[in-house]
C-alpha cells in the first residue's frame, strides 16, 4: 500500500534496509555528474505511467531525482519520489516494491559515468548497493532511498553481478548477467507471493525505455510464456505517455537478446524516426562554458560519447529490422532444463551472459526438438486445422479451444468442493493440443500471450520422430483422430534432459468427441485409451527411443492437496508452478480449472488446504 499506515506487510526486503544503514554510516552514493545537456535529456523524458503492464503488475517510470539537483533541471521539470507516490495515491494504485535498475544502464545513458572514479566512501557504498555484496562503480545518488520507506514501499536496487568484467566495457547496451536476471525474477516472485495484489514500480537510467523495459518483457516471456513480439507490445502499451509513436524498449541490442534468448518467431521492427531526441543525445547544450552557481562541481559540455548501437546511434533515424530467430545460427551446443541451470560447450567464460531459459517453454524449450513448424499455407497445416475444427466444432475460432484456468483467491475458495475436484501439480512448459492422426502427430499452440482472439493465431508443428499411440483394440495399428490436452516440458531421465508431453486431459478419442463428458469419464478414456494402451505394447515398440516422451499427470483426491504441493510437486524433475484443481463433473467445453501457483500467497494456500479438510 502506498500509505505509511500500511507499511507493516510481510517480506520487507533486506537490500532496502542494509543499503539505508550503510549509506547512513558511510555517506551517500556518488552524486550524478551529468553534463547540462544530459540533464536536459532527463528533463525531456515522460515521467510515469499509471497503466500497469498486462499479465503482470509492473508500472514503468523514469528515475525520480532529489531536489538537490534542482539547479540542473529547473523547477518546472522536478520529478521526485513524493510526487510520484502522490500521483499513485490519487489514482488509487497500490505499490509495494520499487526496483531501481539505474546502475545497470547508467553508462548507456552517459558513458562518462563509467570513467568517473568513486571516492573511498562512495566505493564502499556501492559495495552495499546489492544484497549480494558485489561491487558496482555505476551506483549514483538519484534520491534518498528511505523516501520510499516513508510511504511504506520497499526499495530494491539491482546491480550487475559480473560488474568487474562489464564495467570496463563501454558497450552501448549492457545486457544483464544470468545472475542479475535470476535475482530480478526471484525478487518479483517473492514480492507477489507476499503481496499478490500490489504493484511493482521499476525504473532505469533511460526513462524506463532501457533495462526496465527489457526486464519487464523478459519476465512476461519467462513467467507467462508470452512470445517476444507480444511481450514487447504489452510493455509498449504500458510505457509512460509520449507524443512519439514509438514507445517501449528502444535498445536494439536488448531487443535482439530477447529475440535470441526466447527464439522469437516473428520479425521485429523499430522505427527510430519515431523515437524521441533525448534517447540519442541530440539536445543541444546552450549553457555557458562554466556555471558559477554549480554547487555540485559538475562540468559543462555536451556528451559526445552517446550510444552508437545499431540503429540507435546519435542522429541515426533508420528503421531497424530484427529477424526472427534462426535455429541454424545457434552458437554452440546448449543443454538446459530450468532457469539458472545451463550447461554449454564452445563458450568462453566471458561470453556466458543471459544463458538461461525462459522456463521449460516460452517460445520453445529446446532448439533440437524433433518437430517441424508448418507454414500456415501448407496443405498439412490446413488439414490439421480442418480436423481440429471438425472434432471441436470450433470453425469460427482462430485459436485452439484449450481449457481455461482461474487463479484461486480468498473470494472463490468456496467454489472448491472436496468430493467434486481432483488435484495435481502444474507443469511449466508449452501448453497445447496434440492431434493424433494416422499419417502424423501434430502439436498445436496458441501463439499470443492473452485471450484476445483477434490477436491469436494457431501454430502447428508436426513431429519428425515417431510417437507411438496404439489402437487399444488393435495394438499393431495406430490411433486416428485422437485429441489430447498436453504440456510440453523439458524433463530429466537417467541424468539427461528429455522433452516430454504431460497429458492432462482428452478431448476426443479415435473420432469420438468427449468434450461434453464429465472429467471423471474423460480421465478413464485418457488412461485406458492412451496411457495404458501404450504400456501394453512394450513388446512391439521400444518407447525409450522416442524423440519426445509421454506421461500422464497423476490426479489425487483433494484431501491430499498439501501432500501434492509439498511432496509430489517438489519431486518432479521438470519445472512446476503450483497446483491445479479440476472439477470431476466439469465439461471440457465450458469448465475451468482452479490454479494455485507460485504467486498465490501462503495465506491463500493454507486456507485452501484448511477448506478442503473441513
Task: Lowest mean pLDDT of 57-66, 508-517, 599-608, name the range.
Answer: 599-608
Task: Lowest mean pLDDT of 24-38, 153-167, 307-321, 569-583, name the range.
Answer: 307-321
Task: Lowest mean pLDDT of 2-16, 102-116, 201-215, name the range.
Answer: 2-16
Where does the pLDDT of residue 120 fall: very low under 50, low under 70, confident under 90, or very high at 90 and above? Answer: very low
pLDDT at 315 over 70: no
DSSP-assigned beta bridge partners for residue 372: 462
Per-residue pLDDT at 489: 93
Average per-residue pLDDT for the chain = 76
Distance between terminal CA atoms of the chain?
33
Task: Lowest mean pLDDT of 287-301, 365-379, 465-479, name the range.
Answer: 287-301
pLDDT at 239 over 70: yes
3-state helix, strand, coil in the chain (%, to 5): 35, 20, 45
Residues 345 and 385 in one domain: no
Per-residue pLDDT at 27: 55
Q: Would you say residue 359 lies in a domain?
A: no
Per-residue pLDDT at 166: 39
Residues 461 and 531 in one domain: yes
pLDDT at 247 over 50: yes
Q: Which of residues 581 and 305 earns the better pLDDT score?
A: 581
The CATH code of the domain that includes 565 is: 3.30.470.30
Per-residue pLDDT at 595: 72
473/462 Cα distance (integer angstroms): 26
In DSSP notation, 381-407 reads: HHHHHHHHHHHHT-TT-SS--PPEEEE
Q: Shortest CA distance to 422 belongs to which of 520, 352, 324, 333?
A: 520
Where does the pLDDT of residue 148 fall: very low under 50, low under 70, confident under 90, or very high at 90 and above? Answer: very high
Where does the pLDDT of residue 414 fall: very low under 50, low under 70, confident under 90, or very high at 90 and above? Answer: confident
Per-residue pLDDT at 119: 34
Q: Would you say residue 365 lies in a domain?
A: no
DSSP-assigned beta bridge partners for residue 579: 425, 596
Tell me phi and psi for residue 446, to 5 degrees.
-80, 135
Domain region containing 527: 371-613
Give whichever of 17-31, 323-337, 393-407, 580-594 has the largest mean pLDDT. 580-594
The CATH code of the domain that includes 154 is: 3.90.190.10
Q: Shortest CA distance to 575 belongs to which of 337, 257, 242, 230?
A: 337
Burial 120-131 (b: 16+ CB within 10 A, else e): eebbbbbbbbbb
Average pLDDT of 107-111? 78
Q: What is the pLDDT of residues 197-207, one digit of tens each?
A: 999 999 999 99
Q: Which of residues 20 and 216 earns the better pLDDT score?
A: 216
pLDDT at 257 over 80: yes
Residues 197 and 242 in one domain: yes
Q: Would you say residue 360 lies in a domain?
A: no
Q: Would you say residue 363 lies in a domain?
A: no
Task: Lowest mean pLDDT of 125-134, 139-148, 403-412, name the range.
Answer: 125-134
Share of the chain above pLDDT 70, in %: 71
Report the domain count for the chain.
2
Average pLDDT of 49-74? 90
Residues 341 and 449 in one domain: no
Q: Which of residues 398 and 261 earns the better pLDDT score?
A: 261
Q: Helices (H) and strands (E) in the chain — how many of each?
A: 19, 21
Q: What is the pLDDT of residues 21-59, one digit of tens each?
A: 444 444 578 898 888 888 999 999 999 999 999 878 999
Residues 170 and 296 in one domain: yes
Distances (CA, A) of 264 to 257, 527, 529: 10, 35, 36
Per-residue pLDDT at 501: 96
Residues 194 and 105 in one domain: yes
Residues 229 and 325 in one domain: yes
Q: Would you say residue 29 lies in a domain?
A: yes
Average pLDDT of 334-363? 33
Amino acid at each position: 500500500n502506498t500509505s505509511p499506515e500500511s507499511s507493516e506487510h510481510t517480506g520487507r526486503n533486506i537490500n532496502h534496509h542494509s543499503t539505508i544503514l550503510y549509506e547512513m554510516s558511510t555517506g551517500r552514493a556518488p552524486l550524478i555528474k551529468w553534463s547540462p545537456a544530459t540533464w536536459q535529456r532527463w528533463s525531456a523524458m515522460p515521467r510515469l505511467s499509471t497503466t500497469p503492464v498486462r499479465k503482470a503488475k509492473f508500472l514503468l517510470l523514469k528515475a525520480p531525482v532529489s531536489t538537490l539537483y534542482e539547479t540542473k533541471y529547473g523547477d518546472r521539470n522536478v520529478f521526485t519520489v513524493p510526487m510520484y507516490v502522490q500521483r499513485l495515491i490519487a489514482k488509487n494504485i497500490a505499490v509495494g516494491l520499487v526496483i531501481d535498475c539505474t546502475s545497470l544502464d547508467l553508462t548507456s545513458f552517459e558513458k562518462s559515468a563509467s570513467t568517473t572514479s568513486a571516492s573511498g566512501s562512495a566505493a564502499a557504498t556501492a559495495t552495499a548497493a546489492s544484497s549480494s555484496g558485489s561491487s558496482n562503480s555505476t551506483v549514483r545518488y538519484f534520491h534518498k532511498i528511505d523516501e520510499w520507506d516513508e510511504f511504506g514501499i520497499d526499495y530494491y536496487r539491482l546491480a550487475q553481478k559480473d560488474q568487474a568484467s562489464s564495467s570496463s566495457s563501454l558497450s552501448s547496451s549492457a545486457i544483464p548477467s544470468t545472475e542479475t536476471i535470476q535475482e530480478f525474477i526471484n525478487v518479483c516472485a517473492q514480492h507477489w507471493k507476499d503481496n499478490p495484489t500490489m504493484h511493482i514500480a521499476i525504473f532505469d537510467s533511460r526513462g524506463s525505455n532501457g533495462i526496465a523495459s527489457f526486464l519487464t518483457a523478459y519476465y512476461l516471456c519467462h513467467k507467462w510464456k508470452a512470445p517476444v513480439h507480444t511481450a514487447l507490445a504489452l510493455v509498449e502499451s504500458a510505457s509512460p505517455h509520449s507524443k512519439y509513436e514509438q514507445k517501449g524498449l528502444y535498445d536494439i541490442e536488448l531487443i535482439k537478446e530477447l529475440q535470441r534468448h526466447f527464439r522469437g518467431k516473428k520479425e521485429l521492427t523499430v522505427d527510430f524516426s519515431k523515437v524521441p531526441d533525448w534517447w540519442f543525445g541530440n539536445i543541444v547544450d546552450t549553457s555557458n562554458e562554466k556555471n558559477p552557481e554549480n554547487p555540485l562541481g559538475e562540468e559543462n559540455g555536451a556528451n559526445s560519447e552517446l550510444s552508437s548501437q545499431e540503429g540507435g546511434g546519435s542522429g541515426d533515424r533508420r528503421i531497424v529490422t530484427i529477424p526472427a530467430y534462426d535455429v541454424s545460427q545457434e552458437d554452440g551446443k546448449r543443454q538446459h532444463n530450468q532457469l539458472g541451470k545451463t550447461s554449454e560447450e564452445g563458450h568462453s567464460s566471458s561470453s556466458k551472459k543471459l544463458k538461461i531459459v525462459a522456463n521449460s517453454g516460452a517460445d520453445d524449450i529446446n532448439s533440437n526438438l524433433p518437430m517441424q513448424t508448418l507454414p500456415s499455407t501448407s496443405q498439412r497445416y490446413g488439414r490439421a486445422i480442418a480436423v481440429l475444427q471438425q472434432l471441436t466444432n470450433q470453425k469460427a475460432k482462430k485459436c485452439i479451444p484449450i481449457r481455461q484456468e482461474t487463479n484461486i483467491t480468498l473470494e472463490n475458495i468456496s467454489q472448491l468442493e472436496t468430493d467434486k475436484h481432483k488435484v495435481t501439480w502444474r507443469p511449466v512448459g508449452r501448453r497445447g493440443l496434440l492431434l493424433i492422426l494416422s499419417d502424423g502427430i501434430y502439436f498445436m499452440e496458441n501463439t499470443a500471450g492473452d485471450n484476445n482472439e483477434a490477436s491469436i493465431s494457431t501454430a502447428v508443428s508436426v513431429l519428425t520422430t515417431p510417437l507411438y499411440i496404439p489402437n487399444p483394440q488393435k495394438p499393431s495399428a495406430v490411433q486416428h483422430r485422437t485429441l489430447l490436452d498436453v504440456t510440453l516440458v523439458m524433463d530429466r531421465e537417467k541424468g539427461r534432459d528429455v522433452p516430454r508431453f504431460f497429458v492432462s486431459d482428452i478431448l476426443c478419442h479415435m473420432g469420438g468427441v468427449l468434450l461434453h463428458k464429465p472429467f471423471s469419464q474423460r480421465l478413464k478414456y485418457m488412461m485406458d485409451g492412451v496411457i495404458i494402451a501404450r504400456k501394453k505394447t512394450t513388446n512391439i515398440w521400444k518407447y525409450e527411443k522416442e524423440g519426445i516422451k509421454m506421461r500422464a499427470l497423476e490426479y489425487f483426491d483433494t484431501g491430499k492437496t498439501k501432500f501434492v504441493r509439498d511432496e509430489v510437486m517438489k519431486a518432479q524433475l521438470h519445472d512446476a508452478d503450483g497446483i491445479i484443481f479440476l472439477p470431476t463433473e466439469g465439461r471440457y467445453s465450458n469448465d475451468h480449472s482452479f490454479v494455485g501457483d507460485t504467486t498465490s500467497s501462503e495465506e491463500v494456500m493454507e486456507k485452501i488446504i484448511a477448506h478442503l479438510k473441513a
